[in-house]
Amino acid sequence: MAMISELQAPPRDRLSRARTLHWALVGLLAVCSLASLQVGATDITLTTLLGKLATGETLGRMERVVLLDIRLPRLALGALVGAALAVSGAAMQGLFRNPLADPGIVGVGAGAGLGAILAIVLGALLPAWAVGTVGNQLVPVAAFLGGWGSTILLYRVSTRGGRTSVATMLLAGIALGALAGALSGILVYIADDTQLRDLTFWGLGSLAGASWAKVLAAGPLIALSLGAALMLGRGLNGLALGEATAAHIGIDVQRMKNIAILAVAGATGAAVAVSGGIGFIGIVVPHLLRLASGPDHRALLLNSALLGASLLILADVIARVVIAPAELPIGIVTAVLGAPVFLWILLRRRGLVDT
Amino acid sequence: MTRLRSIRPVLATLVALGMAAGSAGAQQTEQADVLSIGGSVTEIVMALGQGHRLKARDSTSTYPPAVADLPDVGYMRALSPEGVLSVGPALILSEEGAGPVEAVEVIRAADVDFVEVPDAYDASGIMNKITIVGAALGVPDRAAKLADTVGADLRTAATLAESWTGARKRVLFVLSTQGGKITASGTGTAADAIIRLAGGVNAVTDFTGYRQLSDESLGLAAPDLILMMDRSGDHAATVDDLFAMPAMQLTPAADSQALVRMDGLLMLGFGPRTAQAVTRLNHALYGERS
């Protein structure tokens, strides 16, 4: 019931509350990060390593590999991907003024999926020089290009006379999604058994392939996109009043749409490319935060980044310890945890969604 | 690509031989520190009498039943690097195709010997697998003996298959009958290889790999015998269910109710038991002859 009083509190009060929430979430992120370095299938822990470092002992090769080459890049990648998905979700929900919008709404997911399938199924047909240049990274690169490309295509289709229609974008997104689905279907048909397995696992998402190379490739793009998205708070608040009103209060609506769409395509495209399909973070995180501290985008976007990163890191910890030494695809964990939470929100707060 | 593939077994053998020299010390202590990935590789380790050295296995390693007690590091194409390292292997024996690539790279970077065993669908390929595994485990003599036995078994099976002078029967390997649709093997698969080794003719040669067959093309394929994997928990069709399918009713196999089911690893694993699988299929096709 505390939440109702929060919703009724004057806006200024809620914003300051949201800003105190920043610090709580920074704390949560720190705790999740430490947990992610501490826990894993091996019994190597951060605490023993710090103890060794303190007494001047050198670390074994195994300890270094587990900590520096496995857990640390996974942590970094998890934080980047979680933040990217959650902020993209919040931005899209704001831009489309639709509570069910998620990063996939601008066609990133379908396009990235098609790119990944193309790479998995037809990758073997590439000439040797191309394989030599792209190598192991063929699937992520193709997924990124697919996701980015389909968003740009969708954006071009929905923009006429320098004005982007979000309604057109929504519907065209559905059409493009169906088309990408059909093309993927053709590729699934010609795929062989092992390729189908690879496809299934890709679609479930995983951070098991995390490496510094992936962090370095995806990191700058996600950081840049997130930086741009975080500046959209005031504009998205204005847009909540409708496009015309937003324009009247001095917001350059078209410019904001451009930034939002490019940022989401960049962040989500890169995230999906390095981790495969991870559901529910983009949709659940912003809703949780709206319940806790209201819909003000100035606080919501940053909080989404923090909570998204924390939750994905946590989900990854669960994914890798629950059936160790094997490991669950992380998309399963986020959906199993995220779907009930989402349902619970819907049932508890029906009024919020029905506005 | 093809050229690379053909030199790979040679390279792997060289690597394995080098390893054998290095692991001579480990042989005396005989600690359980081997992780075996891939059903046929695990079978070979066991057949070499080195089961006591296994520390863990992957989810495709299901034979002999004793290996089920070992910790399972998951599906071989979706390995978790830390999960693999957590079982503390000093040596990883892996069938070709373990992944994801990044995971294998990290595992190789740790202090673990990683030996890749190339996949192959013929007698010399199986013997090569045995040689590589034996060398990596430091038991080349046992491996040579096992390879000889397995090779002799396979030759006997091949002689049996060739001894049939009558018309060759057409065999359809059915991977699944999910939702009333039949997914069958074309060419280039382990199933295709086992059918040919057993003296049968693959009923479907229009495509490579496993594909869904239309009802009519199933009639055209006209298989004399249906070959399927035996699964515990049985989501595959029973004989009646299978031949009750409309498309199946047109086939000669339905008239004689000819269905052979074999354990998937036995039939498609191309390990030490392949001769058994070949002989069983041959007997099912042409009857037991002396």
Identify the closest residue of chain B to A71 by CA–CA distance. B82
> pLDDT tens, B145-203?
999 999 999 999 999 999 998 999 999 999 888 777 888 999 999 999 999 999 999 99
Residue pair B26/B139 in contact (Cβ under 8 Å)? The answer is: no
**Mean pLDDT of the region A16-31:** 89
Q: What is the pLDDT of residues A157-193, one digit of tens each?
A: 999 988 889 889 888 888 888 898 899 889 888 887 7
In this structure, are B277 and B200 located in the same domain?
A: yes
Quote the minimal CA–CA distance from B80 to chain A in Å. 6
Q: Does residue B161 lie in a domain region?
A: no
pLDDT score recorded for residue B124: 94
Domain annotation covers residue B44: yes
Q: Residues B207, B145: one domain?
A: no
The reply to whether B27 and B111 lie within a common domain is yes
**Beta pairing class for B170-176 and B113-117:** unpaired
Nearest Cβ partner of A69 from B86, B100, B106? B106
- Verify whether the Cβ–Cβ distance A197 to B59 is below 8 Å: no
Interface pTM, i.e. ipTM: 0.71
Same domain? B125 vs B77: yes
The residue out of B118, B153, B188 marking a domain boundary is B153
Residue B124: how many other CB atoms lie within 10 Å: 12
| B286: closest CA of chain A, how far (Å) | 30
Whether chain A has a CB inside 8 Å of the CB on B162: the answer is no
Average pLDDT over residues B220-225: 93
* DSSP per-residue string spanning A276-340: ----SHHHHHHHHHHHHH-S-HHHHHHHHHHHHHHHHHHHHHHHHHTTTTS---HHHHHHHHHHH
Nearest to A198 among B59, B77, B175 (CB): B77
d(CA A228, CA A236): 13
Q: Residue B201: inside a domain, yes or no? A: yes
- In this structure, is residue B48 part of a structural domain? yes
| DSSP one-letter code for B71 | -
- Mutation test of the interface with chain A: which of B70, B82, B206, choosing the one with the most A Cβ atoms within 10 A? B82
CB contact under 8 A, A327 and B78: yes
Is residue B16 located within the same domain as residue B137? yes
Domains of chain A plus CATH, in order, are 13-24+62-353 (1.10.3470.10)
pTM of this structure:
0.80
Q: Are residues B7 and B130 in the same domain?
A: yes
In chain A, at which residue ranges do the beta strands (DSSP E only) sit?
Answer: 159-160, 163-164
- Residue pair B172/B203 in contact (Cβ under 8 Å)? The answer is yes
Strands B170-176 and B201-202: parallel
- Alpha-carbon distances of B148 from A294, B130, B154, rounded to whole Å: 75, 10, 10
User: Please, which residues bridge with residue B36 across strands?
Assistant: B57, B93
On whether the CB atoms of residues A227 and A262 are closer than 8 A, the answer is no
Task: Identify whether residues B148 and B187 lie together within a single domain.
Answer: no
Cα A78 to Cα A76: distance, rounded to the nearest angstrom: 5
Per-residue pLDDT, A221: 93
Lowest mean pLDDT among A1-5, A210-214, A275-279: A1-5
Higher-confidence position of A122 and B21: A122
CATH code of residue B218: 3.40.50.1980
Eight-class DSSP state of A69: I
The verdict on residue B95 lying in a domain is yes
> Which candidate, B197, B200, B192, B196, places its Cα nearest to that of B175?
B192
Residue-wise pLDDT for A290-327, tens only, equals: 888 888 999 999 999 999 999 999 999 999 888 888 88
B153, B188, B220: which is the final residue of a domain?
Answer: B153
Of B99, B109, B211, the CB nearest to A69: B109
Task: Examine the domain organization and report whether B6 and B147 are in the same domain.
Answer: yes
When pLDDT is cut at 50, 70 and 90, the band that residue A203 belongs to is confident
- Residue in chain A closest to B208 (alpha carbons) equals A192
Shortest Cα–Cα distance, A44 to chain B (Å)? 9
**What count of residues does chain B have?**
290
In B137-238, which residue ranges form alpha helices assigned H by DSSP?
140-163, 190-197, 215-221
Q: Does B206 touch chain A (CB under 8 A)?
A: no
Chain A residues in contact with B56 (beta carbon < 8 A): 325
Q: Are residue B179 and residue B131 in the same domain, yes or no?
A: no
Which residue does chain A place closest to B112, by CA atoms?
A62
Instruction: Indicate the residue among B94, B126, B153 that finishes a domain.
Output: B153
Say what the pLDDT of residue A37 is: 93
Q: Does B35 touch chain A (CB under 8 A)?
A: no
Q: Is B105 on the interface with A (CB under 8 A)?
A: yes
Residue B17 and residue B125 in one domain: yes
Kind and range of the H or E run holding A262: helix A253-275
Say if the Cβ atoms of B102 and A329 lie within 8 Å: no
Domain range for B239: 170-286
Q: Of B75, B83, B175, which is closest to A324 when you measure between CB atoms?
A: B83
Look at residue B6 and tell me whether its pLDDT is greater than 70. Answer: no
What pLDDT is stored for residue A345 in this prediction?
Answer: 77
Q: Is residue B141 part of a domain?
A: yes
Determine which of B64-68, B130-134, B246-250 has the lowest per-residue pLDDT on average: B246-250
- Are residues A325 and B111, on separate chains, in Cβ contact within 8 Å? no
Residues B33 and B74 in one domain: yes
Q: Which two tokens stand for residue A214?
A: 């992936």
B162, part of any domain: no
Contact B79 A208 (CB under 8 A): yes
Q: Higher model confidence: residue A230 or residue A1? A: A230
Residue B165 lies in a domain: no
CA distance A8 to chain B (A): 48
List chain A residues with CB under 8 Å of B105: 136, 211
* Chain B residues closer than 8 Å to A126 by CB: none
Residues B122 and B200 grouped into a single domain: no
Question: What mean pLDDT value characterizes chain A?
Answer: 86
Higher pLDDT, A234 or A16: A234
Nearest CB partner across the interface for A325, out of B73, B75, B208: B73
Domain count, chain B: 2
- Residue in A with minimal Cα distance to B186: A192
